Every structure is written in C-alpha cells, then in structure tokens.
Amino acid sequence: MRAVIDPAEQPLRGSIRVPSDKSISHRAVLFAALAHGRSVVRDALDAADVRSSIEAVRALGAAVDVSPGDCGLSLVIDGWGDRGPAAPPHPVDCGNSGTTARLLLGILGGYQVSVTLVGDRSLSGRPMRRVTEPLARMGARFDLSPQGTLPVTVHGGPLVGCNHELTVASAQVKTALLLAGLRATGTTTVREPAPSRDHTERMLPVFGAQVEREDSLTVRVQGLQILRPAEVAVPADPSSAAFLAVAAALVPGSEVVLRDVCLNPTRIAFLDVMRRMGVDLSIAPGPDAGGEPVGDVTVRGGAPLRPADVPPHEVPALIDEVPVLAVLACAAHGATRFRSVGELRVKESDRLDATVHALHAMGAQARVEDDDLVVVGPANLHGAEFSSRGDHRLAMAFAVAGLVASGPVSIDGFEAVAVSYPRFSEDLHALVRG
C-alpha cells in the first residue's frame, strides 16, 4: 500500500491515547501462558506483532479468549502451568515479531519439547544466535539455519542456571535468559553493559515470581518457579507516542496531549533527548499500571531546536525512536550525533541505511560514521518517494517528515504500520484537523 503524506497546513491539536505498549503486551501474553491458572490482560495492543504472540501460545496449548476492550484487546488466558506447553504438529509462526521468537526460545528451552519457530521474510533475516548461544550454555539445544536465523528448532530439556555477561544490552535476550532461568536448577544471573528495558523485571513479580535486582545492570532469578495467574492493565506505548510527539514538536503552533503513556525510565530517553534539543514538553504523572509508571505527555511546537549528542549508554532506551529523532534533528541548528547505533542494522530492516537514504532523498544532510548516525540541520525538507522496507518504525518516521516537507512524501509499504500502530494514519490526520 502506498501512502501520500501532505505538508501540514495547520498546527496539530488534540488529546489522544496512542495504542497500548507492544513490549508490555507481549510479556503479559507470554507470562500468562506460562502461569498455572487463568489470567486477565486488559488493553493489550491490537496489532500484528502481539497477535503473533497470541497465536503462538495458542499453538503451544494455552487457551486464549479475545474480545474488544476500551483501549485494545481484552484477553482471558488459561496458561499451561505445571503441564508445560504442547508441541504442535506444525511450526509456530512468529510473523514479524522478534520479541515473540526470542522470548519463546527462552521459554521452550526449559521443557521436554521440540518446537520449530518460523517467521516472515524480515524476521527470518534477524540474528538468533545472540539468544541461542547463552541458552545452550544452560542445556537447551537448537537447530538454526546456516545464517543463524529462523527457522529454529528448539529441543528443550533440563536446564542449569548460569551467570550471563551480555556484550550488548538487549531486553529480548535478557528476558529469554530469565524465562529459561525460571525452569532451571540453581540461580540465573544476567548482567548487561548498559540498562535495557526492564518490563520483565517489573512484570514477573506481578505473576508471583521472585526477581532480584542488584542494580540497574544486574538481575537474577531462582530456578524451578511456577508463575501464578494475574491481572495486568497495559498502558499506552511510549515508542508509538514518540512519533506524534516529534510531529507536534516540528509543526509550529501545535499542542498535543498524549494520554496514559508508560513512563518507564528505560523507555522515555527519547523525551530526555527532545528536552535537550529544546522541545517544549511537560509530563503529568498518573497512577501506576501493572507495575509501570504512567502519565500524560504534552508537547508544544515551534520552539527553536538545538543539536544533541546521544551517548552510547542512552541508546538502548531509545533505539526504536532513533529514526524519528533523526527527523527532528533535521530542524536543529547544528550536528546531532547518535552514537553506537549499529543495532539499527539488524532490526526489522537496516534502519540505519534506510534513515540516511530517506533523509538524503528529502534534501537533508545525514551520514554514518562507523556505528554513529550524524544528522546536520537545519534542512529544508522537500517531497520524495521511498519505501518503508516493510518496517513500521520507518513508515511512521517518514510520515512525520512529510508533515514539514515542502511537498508530498510518498511511502510504499505503508501497511507496515499495522505491526505496532494500526490506526497511525487516522490519528495523525485527526490531530492535523485539530
């Protein structure tokens, strides 16, 4: 599907709740499947990636009842608990969802089952050895493609707890190892070089697991734990909110309120960067939901922007927002540098190459230096045509750029937004209409 984004002719105005958080929705579904009994998940994200997790746990023996909710899906999940997952007669399709695939590697590694995981073309190009190699140290076995990608067959069995020193901060790898640790004998400890998203550490205790957090880099679990059922409410996704926040910041005179956003400190580094760049924004905290801090974010447009330096330790907490922050950097007076963002090369697409290509096509100055992304502004963006490369984050980032271009921006493959934000186009148009 091709989408054409026209320049905004008036400020963005309104109050909106973006879709529920994708990372939290995935974990709520997968942890409920592990639990012994019936769990309730309210306001789960209704998008392709989360549907992949729902269908995966169904295929593995969990019963899932799905109905519409106020802000997403209402789920009632009867987990497999003590009996463990059932090996289906066919591969489990993870769609485009790296979270589904990588977390299932950790979950399945501790059970006496052999299960094959497959995905779409994009997911089948993403690396899996970063998960399977530390899991193999615990006793799980895996058959991977020669490239170390899906399809992967998991041969689970008895596991032994290990100390894991990760070389790259990754919430997906950390979570897979902790979930395997719940089934292992002894203690499993994961230490990262920088803090990554901590939704797992926050949610596992809601399901009755004992989790010890030594500091912001180290987490451990004792083995042989069985999760108990729980009720989880999922707040709005800060990564989705980032696109509308940048849109509001770029269009002069805008004022947009983003309601019920998850304010987990490991997820809102993009707001810190926006503040450093001079964006006028404020946060009103609200009540917690599911162990997560929640609040409303108000962004006003038109403030003069300055460049920022984004250091490596900040990157894990904003890696998904780099493409749209690069669009924001086009309006700053000077060079903005995103340091050590090579991880963007192995997302749903090569986001590093795609971001530079798109900004060049629109007349901006952008370059890659080793693993750094450098954007030099201010740039007078003009209309262009390019592909989303099947990547939801790129499709939305390019659409935001189109609001402040001098002519229409045409994006092939815009349907990719359904992975995380199916109504993105409608919400963006609603804010433009005020």
Residues involved in catalysis: 320
Q: How far apart are CA 334 and CA 351, in angstroms?
A: 22
Helical axes 238-250 vs 322-329, angle rounded to 10° = 10
Are the C-beta atoms of 182 and 225 separated by less than 8 Å? yes
Radius of gyration of the chain (CA): 21
- How far is the C-alpha of 381 from the C-alpha of 83, rounded, in Å? 58
Cβ neighbours for 426, distance < 8 A, ≥ 6 positions apart: none
Residue pair 6/408 in contact by the 8 Å Cβ criterion: yes
In degrees rounded to 5, what are phi and psi of residue 96? Answer: -100, 5
List all residues 6 or more positions away from 126 whose beta carbon is below 8 Å from its beta carbon.
98, 119, 149, 150, 346, 347, 348
Query: Helices 238-250 and 269-276 sit at what angle, rounded to 10 degrees?
Result: 20
